[in-house]
């Protein structure tokens, strides 16, 4: 699994999100990405890191579910 960096990402459907951090699920210890929408009400979400790093197929093309577009400086 590739490392998930803090910063701004573009979802394959075009919307942008900011990764705030990576946490562990309290029961399973599965890595979860904590992120927020950069549109609408700016809702916060979590998604399994394994799913974050997945590739998806759309219109016959395979692509990353999320693509880093700007890494956040610490």
pTM of the complete model: 0.89
Contacts 24+ apart (CB under 8 A), 22-28: 22/49
CB atoms within 10 A of CB 10: 16
- pLDDT value for 1: 54
Q: Residues with Cβ < 8 Å from 63, sequence gap 6 or more?
A: 12, 55, 56, 57
Confidence bin at 4 (pLDDT 50/70/90): very high
- What's the fold here for domain 7-71? SH3 type barrels. (2.30.30)
Confidence bin at 73 (pLDDT 50/70/90): confident
Mind listing the pLDDT tens digit for each residue in 41-71?
999 999 999 999 999 999 999 999 999 999 9
pLDDT above 70: residue 13 = yes
């Amino acid at each position: 699994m590739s490392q998930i960096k803090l910063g701004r990402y573009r979802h394959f459907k075009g919307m942008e999100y900011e990764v705030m951090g990576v946490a562990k699920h309290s029961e399973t210890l599965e890595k979860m990405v904590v992120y927020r929408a950069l549109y609408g009400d700016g809702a916060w979400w979590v998604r399994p890191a394994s799913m974050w790093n997945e590739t998806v197929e759309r219109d016959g093309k395979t692509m990353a579910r999320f693509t880093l577009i700007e890494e956040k400086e610490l």
